[in-house]
Amino acid sequence: MENRIFNKEMECMSRKDMEALQLERLKALVDYCERNSEFYAKRLAKAGVTADKIKCLSDIEYIPYTTKDDLRDTYPFGMLSVPMEDIVRIHASSGTTGNPTVVAYTREDMEHWSEQVARLAVAAGATKNTIVQICFGYGMFTGALGLHYGLEKVGAVVVPTSSGNTEKQLKFMRDFGTTAIVATPSYCMYLAEAARGMQDKYPMDMYKLKYGILGSEGSTPEMRAEIENHWGNGFFCTDNYGMSELNGPGMSGECMYRDGLHINEDHFYCEIIDSASGSVLEKGATGELVVTNLTKRGLPMLRYRTKDITNINYEPCKCGRTSARMHKIIGRSDDMIKVRGVNVFPSQVESALIGMTEISPNYLIVLRRENYSDSMEVRVELIDGGLLDRYGELVALQKRIQDNIKNILGIAIKVTLVEPNSIERFTGKAKRVLDLRNQ
Amino acid sequence: MYIKQLSVFVENKGGRLAEITSVMANADINIRGLSIADTTDFGILRLIVDKPFEAEQKLKAAGLTVSLSDVIAVSIPDKTGGFAETMKAVSDKDVGVEYVYEFVPRNASHAYFVLRVADNEKAVAALKAHGCELLEGEEY
Ligand SMILES: [Zn+2]
């Protein structure tokens, strides 16, 4: 894959220059918010922060955090900082509870957003010659239109197929010679499986697919390898990250080296904090990502708590970019549990279990306090009767799961095999942790 | 040459065994032999029943993890050292024995043993050469 960079000036800037630019933009943003946002003006005044109090980047710590609740509480337009006539787009994300979160963009915001996405699209392999199908659902969700505008800015041929209608998707892929797709990892996999299912009629070499720009849901390295193998022919996929509160996709994305997601630092100033105490952690530490969108004006975001857990690497990358790279999202701060001082996310346990056909995908983490120390047990449901013939095979399975989890978490745990359907199922978000430590 | 053995995965919680055996009783299935291997966490219940396929269906329907496999059922001569001699006949052929338990077929005057070995064919040949009587099909 050819290594291209969309905006060398911004993506390869020296750390010193980047920090100077960020500081300048941060001051301008605080000043802007004071003068244009009723919501922020009140909040900044209460905290005693003014633009001239910001002398260096770490002075950002004077500014209070913004949360999703702030957006909900001010639904729909309470955080708008320009008159409605200056807004050119509104998106909303459907909350599972309460009000949706509404975000709004000025024309300038849209320009910035497209620029941000264009950079990650180029890092993911897009060029003027790319023919890309956008298989995200269009609508209020920022994913489809975000990638759409960004890829148009690159000059790629955008085919807005939206999600679903798999046979049509595959037909267009073959007939148009589509070279890239934008999709969730699971849909990308589903398409590949469907294509393989029709091989007799349409051999796999009828597809010219080279790149997958995946997003909107996380994927493990194993899942990604599986997707790439399924498409074959050197199909290569990258991840990107964003959320509607921060424009949408475009905050960061992987390059061909896939060693972290390059952050568009001239637009997004990132901090890592301890979720529980709210204090800022040192560089390189793992914690909750807090983002200030330095260039957003329609609905500014100061120190937005993403609730996503990651860490940031400030070393330059082999690809030539000097922009900091964030680790793939490790978990959600809401889901984090502490076991013997180690942060554990259910998603990590899940990734250790993925692909094991002997057990069901359902699991339960049980935490106990024994002899003043935490113990962690993972219960999994045995569904493969074939292992029952020999007792040793069950013990070997138990050990294999135990080792997999230990490799990921770094702590020893106990695995218990239980009967199928014995772990309670919850509709919607499954409850994965049973904490008995305070009983 | 072989008979069907059911293996059922059971968590070690009280009453599970009673539940499983009552599934059998309700379906009018007779248990002829039974063995449990367990650790502190879980166990495997091995069953010889008169209607193995039906029993497998019933247990699966009850939500249990079940498998059906071929095991050897051998008659052991009713004399001192009879069991030891039979085992030796198998081990002399380098066939590993994983487990053994007793069961009593219908209308039988003496006990049989269920033998789970690493290599069924080799074990059967050894036992036959030794003059042992093997149970097969559904005659139990
Ligand atoms: Zn890179």
What is the ipTM, given to two decimal places? 0.78
**What CATH number is associated with residue B29?**
3.30.2130.10
d(CA B123, CA B1): 11
pLDDT confidence of residue A27: 98
From chain B residues 48-77, the ones with a CB under 8 A of any chain A CB are 63-67, 69
Q: Which residues pair with A359 in a beta bridge?
A: A382
> Under an 8 A CB cutoff, do B44 and A422 touch?
no
Chain A positions touching B53 (Cβ under 8 A) are none
pLDDT confidence of residue A269: 98
pLDDT band at B51 (very low <50, low <70, confident <90, very high): very high
pLDDT confidence of residue B29: 93
> Under an 8 A CB cutoff, do A394 and B44 touch?
yes
pLDDT band at A361 (very low <50, low <70, confident <90, very high): confident
- My answer on whether B87 and B132 are in the same domain is yes
Q: How far is the CA of A11 from the centre of ligand 1 (A)?
A: 10
Among the partner-chain residues B41, B67, B98, the one whose CB lies closest to the CB of A388 is B67
Q: Which residues pair with B48 in a beta bridge?
A: B33
Q: Return mean pLDDT, chain A.
A: 93
Question: Strands A236-243 and A211-214: what pairing?
Answer: parallel
Percentage of residues of chain A with pLDDT beyond 90: 77
Q: How far is the CA of A253 from the centre of ligand 1 (A)?
A: 9
**Shortest CA gap B11–chain A (Å):** 6
Interface test with B, best of A358, A381, A391 (most B CBs within 10 A): A391
Mean pLDDT of A265-293: 96
pLDDT band at B13 (very low <50, low <70, confident <90, very high): low
pLDDT band at A429 (very low <50, low <70, confident <90, very high): low
Q: Are A134 and A144 in contact (CB under 8 A)?
A: yes
pLDDT confidence of residue A422: 84
Q: Are B89 and B129 in contact (CB under 8 A)?
A: yes
> Under an 8 A CB cutoff, do B66 and A390 touch?
no
The residue written with tokens 């992987």 in the block is: A254
> Under an 8 A CB cutoff, do B65 and A390 touch?
no
Q: How far is the CA of A325 from the centre of ligand 1 (A)?
A: 8
DSSP-derived secondary structure letter, B79: S
d(CA B115, CA B48): 12
Among the partner-chain residues B10, B41, B69, the one whose CB lies closest to the CB of A389 is B69
Q: Are A351 and A400 in contact (CB under 8 A)?
A: no
Q: How distant is the alpha carbon of residue A357 from its chain centre?
A: 27
Q: How many contacts (CB atoms, under 8 Å) link A and B?
A: 50
Task: Give helix B120-129 / helix B82-91 axis angle, nearest 10°.
Answer: 130
> Under an 8 A CB cutoff, do A394 and B42 touch?
yes
Q: Are A237 and A207 in contact (CB under 8 A)?
A: no
pLDDT confidence of residue A234: 95
- My answer on whether B95 and B46 are in the same domain is no
Of B25, B47, B69, the domain-final residue = B69
Q: Which 3-state string (H, E, C) describes chain A?
A: CCCCCCCHHHHCCCHHHHHHHHHHHHHHHHHHHHHHCHHHHHHHHHHCCCHHHCCCHHHHHHCCCECHHHHHHCCCCCCCCCCHHHEEEEEEECCCCCCCEEEEEEHHHHHHHHHHHHHHHHHCCCCCCCEEEECCCCCCCHHHHHHHHHHHHHCCEEECCCCCCHHHHHHHHHHHCCCEEEECHHHHHHHHHHHHHCCCCCCHHHCCCCEEEECCCCCCHHHHHHHHHHHCCCCEEEEEEEEHHHCEEEEEEECCCCCCEEECCCCEEEEEECCCCCCECCCCCCEEEEEEECCCCCCCEEEEEEEEEECEECCCCCCCCCCCEECCCCEEHHHCEEECCEEECHHHHHHHHCCCCCEEEEEEEEEEEECCEEEEEEEEEECCHHHHHCHHHHHHHHHHHHHHHHHHHCCCCEEEEECCCCCCCCCCCCCCEEECCCC
Task: Give helix A391-409 / helix A346-353 axis angle, nearest 10°.
Answer: 140
d(CA B46, CA B116): 11
- My answer on whether B105 and B121 are in the same domain is yes
Higher pLDDT, A35 or A348: A35
Higher pLDDT, A233 or B1: A233
- My answer on whether B52 and B7 are in the same domain is yes
pLDDT confidence of residue A51: 95
pLDDT confidence of residue A38: 96
**Shortest CA gap B110–chain A (Å):** 26
Q: How far is the CA of A267 from the centre of ligand 1 (A)?
A: 18
Of B69, B89, B121, the domain-final residue = B69
Lowest-confidence region among A231-235, A358-362, A397-401, B38-42: B38-42
**Shortest CA gap A338–chain B (Å):** 25
pLDDT confidence of residue A2: 64
User: Which token pair is A200?
Assistant: 């007799």
Query: Is pLDDT of A427 > 60?
Result: no
**Residue B36, H or E segment:** strand B31-38
Higher pLDDT, A361 or A8: A8
pLDDT confidence of residue A279: 95
3-state SS class at B134: strand
Torsion of CA A255, A134, A157, A92, to 10 degrees: -90
Chain B positions touching A360 (Cβ under 8 A) are none
pLDDT confidence of residue A386: 86
Mean pLDDT of A381-410: 89
- My answer on whether B46 and B58 are in the same domain is yes
Q: Return mean pLDDT, chain B.
A: 86
- My answer on whether B57 and B75 are in the same domain is no
Q: Are A322 and A11 in contact (CB under 8 A)?
A: yes
Percentage of residues of chain B with pLDDT beyond 70: 94
**Residues written for chain A:** 439
Interface test with A, best of B2, B5, B9 (most A CBs within 10 A): B9
Of B69, B93, B120, the domain-final residue = B69
Chain B positions touching A388 (Cβ under 8 A) are 7-9, 44, 65-67
Mean pLDDT of A288-293: 98
Q: Are A298 and A105 in contact (CB under 8 A)?
A: yes
> Under an 8 A CB cutoff, do B41 and A417 touch?
yes
d(CA A270, CA A287): 12
Query: Is pLDDT of B139 > 70?
Result: no
- My answer on whether B86 and B53 are in the same domain is no
Query: Is pLDDT of A391 > 70?
Result: yes
Query: Is pLDDT of B12 > 90?
Result: no
Closest residue by Cα to residue A174 from A147, A151, A208, A144: A208
Residue A206 C-beta-side C-alpha neighbours within 13 Å = 16
Query: Is pLDDT of A227 > 90?
Result: yes
- My answer on whether B65 and B55 are in the same domain is yes
pLDDT band at A351 (very low <50, low <70, confident <90, very high): confident
Give the number of domains in chain B: 2
Give the range of the structural domain holding residue B118, as residue numbers without chain letter.
71-139
Query: Is pLDDT of A334 > 60?
Result: yes
Mean pLDDT of A356-364: 89
Question: Strands A248-254 and A261-263: what pairing?
Answer: antiparallel
Closest residue by Cα to residue A184 from A218, A146, A214: A214
Query: Is pLDDT of B107 > 80?
Result: no
**Residue B73, H or E segment:** strand B66-75
The residue written with tokens 């260096």 in the block is: A56
- My answer on whether B79 and B57 are in the same domain is no
Among the partner-chain residues A389, A395, A421, the one whose CB lies closest to the CB of B63 is A421
pLDDT confidence of residue B98: 87
> Under an 8 A CB cutoff, do A419 and B37 touch?
no
pLDDT digits (tens, 9 = 90+) for A70-119: 999 999 999 999 999 999 999 998 766 678 899 999 999 999 999 999 99
pLDDT confidence of residue B85: 87
Instruction: Kindly give, in sequence order, each residue whose CB lies less than 8 Å from that of residue A17, ignoring residues fewer than 6 positions away.
Output: none
pLDDT digits (tens, 9 = 90+) for A132-184: 999 999 999 999 999 999 999 999 999 999 998 999 999 999 999 999 999 99
- My answer on whether B50 and B13 are in the same domain is yes
- My answer on whether B25 and B46 are in the same domain is yes
The answer to pTM > 0.90 is no
pLDDT confidence of residue A19: 98
- My answer on whether B8 and B65 are in the same domain is yes
Percentage of residues of chain A with pLDDT beyond 70: 98
Burial, A371: exposed, middle or buried (Cβ in 10 Å; 0-12, 13-18, 19+)? exposed
